[in-house]
Structure formats: structure tokens, C-alpha cells
Chain A
């Protein structure tokens, strides 16, 4: 029951979409079932994300309750969740500060705290990327050199000052980078990776539908 039921459910739901692909997708029965299942996917996905939120709150609260190291930061996390979530959950009809519309607390926190902090977090990565590039350069291998030379050329190509610099050598260089690096080698590698990943995903899907792949169920 604990293993067979999930395997049967995965088989049937998977099979519905395979059948839908081969039969008429617009038909009332087959198409209708698959469209319903897509809504189910979104609904269960929503609950799964809420499960993650509850899990974060639970783990953080345990740290606070047991006064573990850095519990004060966990308390800050919990308070931040509540400060952002509660005004967003309350109906707009109660106050213009509630809900998710422009001018609400939720909107203010997003625009003035979350968005700038997210941009700053990603901006911080610029320094770590520079550090990673330095370490790659120190590796002194042919592959690392190819990577860095290409990166430098692309960066020069994409900024006006760099393009002007490349034009000093030849005005054809920016066009050649665009045609042969971006439209040639890069395109080819992306295609190779996409084809490989898609074949892998299809094979894995088949394993899941047939019940061969069971790792998603965790330990029995």
C-alpha cells in the first residue's frame, strides 16, 4: 500500500499525458482530464511550497525555543516572514495597506527592502566571480585559458568602450565574435547540452512512469 499506491498513481497520471499526446488533445474527455491534471499540479505545487514555508518556520522556531546559537537571527527570520505575509494575506477591503496592490505594506516591503536586497546580494557575487576567474587563471590549463579569453572577448564585445577597443585592431572583430562565438560555438554547445539533457529527462520520465525510478519516494 505504502509503495504500490504511489507507483500506481504515478503510472496512471503519467500515462494520461502520453495518451493525450497521441490522441486528440482537444477532445472533450482526454484533453479535459489532462487540463484538469495540470490544474492539480499547480494546486499541489502551491501546497508543497507552503510546506517549505512551514518547515522553515518550524526549524527556526525550534532554534528560538531551545535558545540555540544565533537564535536571535532565527527569530528575526520568523518576524520578517510574518511582517511580509500577514498584510499580504489580509483582504484589501479592510484597508488600503493590506493585500498586494500598489501602496500596500506588502508592496512597500517588496519595493524598498526585498528588491534592493536581492540586487545587492547578486551584486556581491561580482566580487566572488572575479575571485573565481583569478583562481581559474592560476590553474594555467589550456581549457581555463580558452574560457577566460572567450569571457574577456565577450565582455569587450558587449560594452561600447570594449567594442571601440576591439575596433582599433579590426572593425570586423565584433562581427566575428557575434557570428562564430555566439552564433557558432556557443549555439552548438547549447544545442548539444539541450539534446543530451532532453534525452536524459525523457529516459528518466519513462523510468518514473514505469516505476523503476523510486528515489522521489524517499527511504521506505
Chain B
């Protein structure tokens, strides 16, 4: 193992331990690592956006003859008017373009791409069912979908039939959230195992080269 590799591992180990030190309490090592992490992540985005958006999507096509792309470029620059109170209203225009395009896409795709296919899939479970177990599963899914939606329906007070269905909905939701919670815990623990393995195998492994 070369000296550079050992140095590299020690740097990573230092920042790993500095970030873990927050589990005890806030301290200068954690603050140092936290701010370096925030800075690096921001810097990463700068280079990425500059290359993939500003150069590849704006500058290169403009130089290639698509002169009209100066318009979104100008709109993008107008976002920076937020720093100048007198003309800050100008940033509303590019924001309106973003909101308008997003709304236009969402209005159709949300209904066409999510609502209808999900409803269709729920109904199709009954059509494709074979035997009691399949029908039971199809009914479970249908009841789950309806009760979940009713739980999130706040235009009427949850009393009577609506209240009972909403109560059933919350049980369904809790089971689903429990499943997600389980997956999240496993994902985080998996990362923790990865970092611990790095410290035990890689970092402590360098001790034999140094000491």
C-alpha cells in the first residue's frame, strides 16, 4: 500500500469519525466535516450544472445556430434579479415559465399516467383473479385503496361510515408505513455496516503499515 493510499484512507476515516462524533454531541470536528460536506456538495452541483446545462443545453446549441435559445438564457439570468430589491419582481417571469410548463405537463400526465392506470390496475386484480386467495387479495387491495383515500379526505368530518372507513384507512397506512420504516432502517443499517467495515478493515488495516 502506497503512502498516498494510506493518507487517502486516513482522510476518509477522519471525516467518517468526525461525522459519527455528533452521536455523542455537537462538536467542532463535526461542524468542520458538516461544512466541508455542504461546500463540496454545492461545488459538485456547480460543475455539473455548468457542464450539462449551461454548456451542453445552452451555449453549444446557441453557437450551433439555435440563436433563439438566448431567451431561456435571459430568463435564467432574470432569476438573479432577486438580489436587487428594485427589480426583484422580474424573477417572477422565469418562475412563471417553470410553473406554467410544469403545470401543463402535470395536468395531463398526472391524470393520464397515474390516476387512471392505478384505478385500472386495482379493478383488473379482480378480473385476473383465480380462486379464493386471489379474490381475497383483490378485495384487500380495493378496500385498502378506498379507505386510504378516504382517510385523506378532509372536506367532511370523519364520523359515521366515513369515520369507520378512515379508521380502517389509518390501519392500512400504518402497515404500509411500517413496511417502509423497516426498509429504511435496513438501508441505513446497511450503510452503517459499510462505514464500520471501512473503519475496521481499511483504516485499522493501515495500522500495520504505519506502526
Q: Spell out A's residues near B (CB within 8 Å).
A: 2-3, 5-7, 9-18, 21, 37-51, 53-54, 56, 58, 70, 73-74, 76-85, 88-89, 100, 106, 109-110, 112-114, 116-127, 129-130, 133, 142-144, 146-155, 158-159, 179-199, 201-202, 204-206, 208-209, 216-218
Contact = CB atoms under 8 A, between A and B. Distances in A.
B129 interface: no
B130 interface: no
Nearest to A144: B174
Q: Which of the listed residues B48, B69, B176, B180 has the most CB atoms from chain A within 10 Å of its own CB?
A: B176
A194 B137 contact: no
13 contacts: A14-B101, A49-B45, A50-B46, A51-B79, A73-B31, A80-B36, A80-B38, A116-B195, A123-B194, A150-B174, A155-B185, A186-B179, A197-B114
Nearest to B108: A21
Given A5-B96, A77-B36, 11 more contacts: A10-B97, A43-B73, A80-B39, A119-B195, A130-B185, A150-B178, A154-B183, A184-B137, A188-B143, A189-B145, A191-B121
A114 B20 CA distance: 15
B37 A195 contact: no
B11 interface: yes
B25 to A, nearest CB: 13
A94 B168 CA distance: 65
Interface residues of B, number: 112
Nearest to A136: B181
Nearest to B49: A46
